[in-house]
Structure 1
């Protein structure tokens, strides 16, 4: 689909929780070498249970560290799950909007 346009960058998006595992599992099979910049957009909504069950661990273990992980900061329940790699997370909106994420 993108081949005729040859963009230099690509954001892989798993915008719903049910899309995360299949996309992460497919990563080794994808031909991404031609892209100079890659990022991964994490789900914009997940439950506290899904976060506790290892969403952060899954992303940080399977997504290359060179790729920013795009997050909605107001979706995070416990920043303790994410602190180890916050340098790799890019907020998808400003952190100063009055949400609890703005206080961390």
Structure 2
């Protein structure tokens, strides 16, 4: 299940044991729209990993100033509250799965 970030303390969202995947996206972004169903499927297949989506237009300071997101979609993988990897642009479901597995 994808969780929408609604402005709560972001540190609480990512600061947990294990992995958290954050999708920085925009509602107007074509590649983001293509990626969303793939992330939904992966989140169901990987229920132990929270998948959090952050709309960059609603949360500009968090996306741009705090995490330096300059293009969407940008996926950021956190492990134990620390960023361990990121990738930008569309990627097929299998590639995202392999990326997650490589960072466990």
- TM-score range relative to shorter protein: under 0.3
TM-score by length of 2: 0.28
**Higher helix proportion (structure 1 or 2):** 1
